[in-house]
Each structure stands twice: as structure tokens, then as C-alpha cells.
């Protein structure tokens, strides 16, 4: 892009009729009425840039003394307001057509919109300044003295609900910098993270209060609470004796970039695994599982069919398990897809059921499809939380009461709740302690 040096500029008021707008490459000017309202209230903060027509070398449409260099949208707005004169910065240097077009391009390319964090911080400051000037409004009466958040919403032409949400986020960014909310890509992403953190903190407080109120005297609660182990499953499995476990349910990360796929769900804290590490992890887990399982025991493994179907089959067989390649299926009423124009909505999840030795199903002949509705998003404390009724049906299909089991990737801990209601004895691992808080609160409801 051509660079030029300004030899001299003047700031002056110029009649709109003296400025030739000319042919400009930006054809669409949106929300001119809103810009006009802002200019009418606050004045024209940035003057329009014009050049002397006598020093611009290209074909012109009129013989007006000035040519618009930058500020086409502002020109439209002041015309909308029916101004006759407009503040202008006048450039008196010699400009070629290349210089002229370079200025027009630079005005649009070099301008950087405020980030959402800067925008909401500015709204917060405006609200605070208005309250400091007028005092805080105490009542909602229309003629009440002072200033309220609703007044700020009217001032900046936003709904009170939108402003309240923005100010809440601005406060959180200021008070909790460690959350790095301002580093989120979008405002919605920041709200999502804030909501998740708030829910996590709430669950932690309530779970701690309940644990303290129960105390160590309640042996059942103590047993079920300690069954949720925070830590690496492979480290726990290494300490287990061989041939002791009768049932294992493996629900690992799917290595399918879950936070992107499940856009409407909160995946904060979810430990996804990279594609390059997935098969190595699964081989270690399958190998340890086979070692600690008794003869005649079942293993269930959830997986993402694309692209892992055959890989999981091969690994299970490599680790000496026997299985049918027709999986069990959790069927859901509704599905989801990121590309509905080319893909049908996915409304199911799959698991292989593999056995060590001569295992037998507890419900012979049961169909391999399990029809259950997912947990409502508002009730989830884990992004892949499954319904308790589904897990009860799956477990009772393969296990009798008294079965001793293990869950390497506990997640929500619903598997422990299901096993308790079925009089099974299970424990498991997860890396995220915040999910255990949600489990404790669910356990509280079940123990009632």
C-alpha cells in the first residue's frame, strides 16, 4: 500500500455541499440511524477527512472544492441529521488515485473493533459515572431522583437484561482475573465459562456442607463417598490384585474433540485426550483390566464409532478379551449434528461388551438397544452425564447383586449410584474433583 506524508492539515467546518463523495468501494452502510442518534447526542467525535480537489489527480464527477477521503458512513449520518456543515480535517497535500484508494482501504482495514471485554468494561464505567453524578436511584418510580441500571440501558439503547448480563461479566473479569474470562473468543463463551464456574463453586460449598453434617458416623455415606477416588485410574489399577474384579465399565474420553462437537454443553474441566495418545491409553487400560478381572467377568467400553470402531475391537482382542462386534446401543429421542445439510443427526452412543472367560448375561436375550432420554442440560454437572435409569438397566443386564466392579473413568459418578441401588460394590477414579462434588449431592438425594 502506498504511504504518504501529510504536509499540512487544517481542522475546520465545511459545507456538505462543497464535498464530493465520489465513487467509493464500500457500498453498504448499516445502522445509519443509530449512528446519527449517537452523533446527535455526543457530537461528531472523529472529524471527516477531506482533501483539496485541486491536488487530487484522478477523474472527478463534480467541480466541488473538496473530495471525501475517509468517513463515508459519518457523512451519511450527518446528511440524515440534515446538517449543512460538518467538522473536517483538511489535507492539502498532493494525492494520486492510488493514494486516495489506499486511504479508503486503510480506514476500513486498520480500524479495530473493541473486544467484548473492552466493550462491557466501558458500559460498566458509564453506569458507574452516571450513578456518581446523579446518585443511585432507590425506587423504580419514573420520576424518582437518581440513576439506575435501567437508565443506563435506555441511554445506550440496550435491553435491561442484556446490560445486567454484561455488567455481571464485567464485574467477574475484574474480580476474578485468574479465570481469564477476557481471553475467551466470544462473550457467549465467557458467560458459559462463568456460569460453569459458578455452578462448580456452588456444588463444592453444598457438598462440603453435607459431608460435614453427615460426619464419619454414617458408614454408608463414608463408603460410597470414598468409592469416588480422585486420581489416575492406571495408578489405582496397578495396586489391585489380579483376578479380583467381576465387572468393569470403561467410559473414556472419546478423542473426538468433544468441546467443539457439544457446543451447547459446558465442557469446562472435561479432560479430553488427543488422537495421538488415545490408542496407547486404551491399550494400557484394557491390559490392566484383563489382569484384575476374574474369569467369567464382563467389561463394557463406550467409544466413538468414527474413527475408533475397528481400533477398539482390535485392542480388546489383542488384550485377550472375547467380544461380538455388534455393539450395545444407547438410543436417544433426539440427535445432534454440526452439519445438518450433509449429515443426519446422531441420536445414539455405542459400547462393546467383552468378556473374560465363560461369562453369562443376567438377562438372556435382551435386545442390544437401550432406549433412554438424556439428562436435561440444566441438571447436568458433567458434560457426558448419563441417566441413572440407563446405567441401572445396563448394569443389571450383565451383573447380579453383590458383583464387585470398577469404573476407571468415573466422570459424573452415576455408575456408582447405579451400582449402589443394584446392591453391587463398585469404586472408580476420576481426575477432576469438582465432578465428585456433583456426585456427593446426587448421593445425598439417593440416601434420603
Which domains does the chain possess?
A: 9-109 (3.90.1530.10), 116-183 (no CATH), 215-447 (3.40.50.150)
Please give the average per-residue pLDDT across 350-362, as a whole number: 97
| Dist. CA 50–CA 277, nearest whole Å | 60
| Dist. CA 181–CA 190, nearest whole Å | 5
Kindly report the backbone phi and psi dihedral angles of residue 199, in degrees, each rounded to the nearest multiple of 5, phi listed first. -65, -40
Kindly report the backbone phi and psi dihedral angles of residue 410, in degrees, each rounded to the nearest multiple of 5, phi listed first. -70, -40
Percent of the chain at pLDDT > 70 equals 91
- Secondary structure (3-state) at 25: coil
Render pLDDT for 271-281 as a digit per residue (tens, 0 to 9): 567 888 899 99
Give residue 5's pLDDT band: very low, low, confident or very high (50, 70, 90): very low
**CB hemisphere CA count around 223 (13 angstroms):** 10
Q: What angle in degrees, to the nearest 10, is found between the helix axes of 414-421 and 388-398?
A: 60
Q: What angle in degrees, to the nearest 10, is found between the helix axes of 275-292 and 305-318?
A: 40
Residues constituting the chain: 448
Render pLDDT for 179-192 as a digit per residue (tens, 0 to 9): 788 888 899 988 88
Please give the average per-residue pLDDT across 123-138, as a whole number: 87
pLDDT at 258 over 60: no
| Dist. CA 9–CA 366, nearest whole Å | 86
- For position 269, what pLDDT does the model report? 47
| Dist. CA 120–CA 114, nearest whole Å | 10
Q: What angle in degrees, to the nearest 10, is found between the helix axes of 116-134 and 187-214?
A: 80
- For position 260, what pLDDT does the model report? 47
- For position 289, what pLDDT does the model report? 98
Please give the average per-residue pLDDT across 266-288, as a whole number: 79
- Calculate the alpha carbon distances from 242 to 28, 151, 284, 287 in Å: 72, 70, 15, 12
| Dist. CA 115–CA 358, nearest whole Å | 62
Cis bond before residue 146 (omega within 30° of 0): no
- For position 1, what pLDDT does the model report? 40
Cell numbers that stand for 352 in this block = 462393546
pLDDT at 31 over 80: no
- For position 8, what pLDDT does the model report? 60
- Is-above-0.75 flag for pTM? no
Amino acid at each position: 500500500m502506498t504511504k504518504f506524508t501529510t504536509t499540512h492539515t487544517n481542522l475546520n467546518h465545511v459545507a456538505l455541499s462543497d464535498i464530493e463523495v465520489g465513487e467509493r468501494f464500500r457500498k453498504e452502510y448499516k445502522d445509519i440511524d443509530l449512528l446519527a442518534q449517537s452523533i446527535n447526542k455526543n457530537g461528531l467525535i472523529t472529524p471527516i477527512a477531506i482533501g483539496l480537489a485541486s491536488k487530487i489527480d484522478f477523474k472527478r464527477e463534480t467541480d466541488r472544492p473538496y473530495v471525501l477521503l475517509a468517513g463515508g458512513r459519518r457523512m451519511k449520518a450527518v446528511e440524515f441529521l440534515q446538517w449543512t456543515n460538518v467538522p473536517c480535517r483538511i489535507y492539502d497535500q498532493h494525492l494520486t488515485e492510488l493514494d486516495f484508494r489506499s486511504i479508503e482501504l486503510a480506514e476500513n482495514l486498520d480500524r479495530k473493533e473493541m473486544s467484548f471485554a473492552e466493550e462491557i468494561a466501558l458500559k460498566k464505567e458509564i453506569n458507574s459515572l452516571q450513578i456518581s453524578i446523579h446518585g443511585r436511584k432507590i425506587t423504580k418510580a419514573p420520576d424518582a431522583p437518581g440513576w439506575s441500571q435501567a437508565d443506563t440501558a435506555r441511554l445506550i439503547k440496550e435491553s435491561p437484561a442484556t446490560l445486567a448480563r454484561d455488567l455481571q461479566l464485567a464485574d467477574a473479569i475484574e474480580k476474578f482475573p485468574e479465570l481469564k474470562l477476557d481471553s475467551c473468543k466470544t462473550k457467549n463463551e465467557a458467560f458459559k465459562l462463568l456460569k460453569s464456574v459458578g455452578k462448580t463453586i456452588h456444588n463444592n460449598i453444598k457438598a462440603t456442607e453435607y459431608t460435614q453434617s453427615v460426619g464419619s458416623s454414617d458408614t454408608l455415606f463414608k463408603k460410597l463417598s470414598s468409592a469416588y477416588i480422585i486420581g489416575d485410574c492406571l495408578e489405582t489399577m496397578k495396586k489391585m490384585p489380579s483376578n479380583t474384579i467381576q465387572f468393569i465399565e470403561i467410559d473414556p474420553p472419546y478423542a473426538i474433540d468433544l468441546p467443539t462437537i457439544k457446543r451447547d454443553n459446558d465442557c469446562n474441566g472435561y479432560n479430553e485426550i488427543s488422537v495421538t495418545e488415545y490408542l496407547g491409553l486404551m491399550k494400557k487400560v484394557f491390559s490392566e483390566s484383563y489382569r484384575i478381572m476374574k474369569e467369567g467377568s464382563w467389561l463394557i467400553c463406550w467409544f466413538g464409532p468414527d474413527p475408533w470402531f475397528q481400533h477398539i475391537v482390535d485392542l480388546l482382542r489383542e488384550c485377550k478379551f472375547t467380544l461380538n462386534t455388534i455393539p450395545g446401543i444407547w438410543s436417544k429421542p433426539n440427535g445432534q449434528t454440526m452439519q445438518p445439510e450433509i449429515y443426519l443427526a446422531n441420536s445414539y452412543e455405542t459400547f462393546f461388551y467383552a468378556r473374560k472367560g465363560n461369562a453369562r448375561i443376567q438377562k438372556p436375550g435382551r435386545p442390544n438397544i437401550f432406549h433412554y432420554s438424556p439428562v436435561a442440560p440444566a441438571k447436568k454437572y458433567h458434560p457426558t452425564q448419563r441417566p441413572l435409569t440407563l446405567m441401572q438397566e445396563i448394569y443389571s443386564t450383565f451383573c447380579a447383586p453383590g458383583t464387585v466392579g470398577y469404573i476407571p473413568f468415573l466422570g459424573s459418578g452415576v455408575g456408582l449410584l447405579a451400582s449402589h441401588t443394584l446392591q453391587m460394590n463398585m469404586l472408580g477414579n476420576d481426575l477432576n474433583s469438582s465432578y465428585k462434588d456433583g456426585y456427593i449431592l446426587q448421593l445425598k438425594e439417593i440416601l434420603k
